[in-house]
Structure 1
Amino acid sequence: MSAKKIISILGSVNQDSLSNKINNLVTSRLFKKYPNSEITLLNLANSPFSKLMLNGKDTNSFWEDTEAKMWIERLKEADYVVINSPMINFNYSVLVKNFIDAICIDDHSFSYKYSKQNGSVGLLNKMKVILIGTQGAPKGWYTFGDHLKMLEGTFGFLGANKIKSLLVAGTKTAPLKDMSHDEIIAKYDDEINSLIEL
């Protein structure tokens, strides 16, 4: 199979997190499927996105300081984007939020002027997006807090070609709370493999 451009975005504040580990595994399996692919790793916890956010002090320089337009261009060229986040207080991590704030720029990653009806057109339409989420609570406990659904909507808005998600829920409840990360990953191996078929 031909080589691909793959961007792996680690979105957890905990470097040893389950979601980071699954992201690394998915990225390595994509590389195995598409040898000689170009992989760009963005660890948000060790990047400007861990320090910079939209606020009243640096709004004008935010997009420049985060190299937003460079990341948008990389996303436009990417075949696959793999991004993960745990649920933190019913949402995705602030690291992922800061990244999304940086890349959502009118007429760069989406546009209203090309829209035919009350809406927008996503300009990042080459990439296939693989989303990996984890949460302590079982799925459905907090209907108001669906961090993967929000990410699916955001990347759909930006024009993603295809989106596939994996949620590992209930990590703080039995039986997952008594399992190691390796055991949980083994339990979800089929679902992880299905992400590669996107």
Structure 2
Amino acid sequence: MSNKVLVIYGTVSPNDKSYSKALAARFIKHYQILNPDDEIIHLDLNDTPMAVKTLTRDNFDNYFNAEDSDVYINQLKEVQKVVVVCPMNNFNVSGLMKNYLDHVLVANKTFSYKYSKKGDAIGLLPHLKIQILTTQGAPFGWYLWGNHTEYLKGTWEFVGATVNKPILVAGTKVPPTSSLAPDELIDQYDEEIQKVVKTF
């Protein structure tokens, strides 16, 4: 049985300089070798008007509308797998990714407190399998309070999804890693990518 795989890109770097895009391309390449019949759907948040809308006091009443929220929530309900591609920007996910998540994390649509016995939320997207692909300029462990990979993992688990082992490419702005072109750096992660692809 074939699956629909939604790939969400949250990087603001130009394509040829993006470690995130290179990581995603390599992951998808290996994934398609193992799953040639699956449909890959690309969602670049740079090209998505919704993702540049930040929640404010002035737009709160109409922020969660059909065009900006329901369309993307329905998309999540219609696919079986999601690949989340996101660099670290100032110790967190990119603004594009945050705006996307703000639009799809909607009570009684992607999570609910109704029928909850312990007070915690019940995720309404349990059919989803998530693959998180992240990058960051600093080596892992430099800023433990800025762990955007764990933030994404916890967020998708909150809506009931199953999260596969994330892949983090860290230290992209620190020598000697910073001297490598994106594809050259991703070559060093190729074995790990192939391993993780098998469980997604």
What residue number does 1:137 align with? 138
- Relative distance call for 1:79 and 1:65 in structure 2 (3 A) is closer
Q: Is 2:22–2:183's contact at 8 Å kept on the other side of the alignment?
A: no
What residue number does 2:54 align with? 53
Offset, 1:172: 1.2
What residue number does 1:109 align with? 110
Offset, 1:161: 2.2
TM-score (norm 2): 0.92
What residue number does 2:164 align with? 163
Q: Is 1:27–1:82's contact at 8 Å kept on the other side of the alignment?
A: no
Question: How many residue pairs are counted as aligned between the two chains?
Answer: 197
Offset, 1:72: 1.4
Task: Using the TM superposition, name which of 100-109 and 167-176 deviates more.
Answer: 167-176
What residue number does 1:124 align with? 125
Q: Is 2:153–2:163's contact at 8 Å kept on the other side of the alignment?
A: no
What residue number does 2:88 align with? 87
CA distance in 1 between counterparts of 2:92 and 2:163 reads 22
Offset, 1:65: 6.3
- Relative distance call for 1:94 and 1:36 in structure 2 (3 A) is same
Offset, 1:124: 0.9
Q: Is 1:114–1:120's contact at 8 Å kept on the other side of the alignment?
A: no
Q: Is 1:148–1:165's contact at 8 Å kept on the other side of the alignment?
A: yes
What residue number does 1:41 align with? 42
CA distance in 1 between counterparts of 2:11 and 2:181 reads 18
Offset, 1:191: 1.5
Indicate the RMSD between aligned Cα atoms, in angstroms: 1.5
Offset, 1:100: 0.4
CA distance in 2 between counterparts of 1:86 and 1:162 reads 18
Structure 2: which 5+ residue stretches go unaligned? none
Offset, 1:174: 2.2
Bigger relative contact order (CA 8 A; separation at least 6): 2
CA distance in 1 between counterparts of 2:108 and 2:96 reads 23
CA distance in 1 between counterparts of 2:29 and 2:50 reads 24
TM-score (norm 1): 0.93
What residue number does 2:63 align with? 62
Task: Using the TM superposition, name which of 155-164 and 3-12 deviates more.
Answer: 155-164
Q: Is 2:50–2:68's contact at 8 Å kept on the other side of the alignment?
A: no
What residue number does 1:73 align with? 74
Structure 1: which 5+ residue stretches go unaligned? none
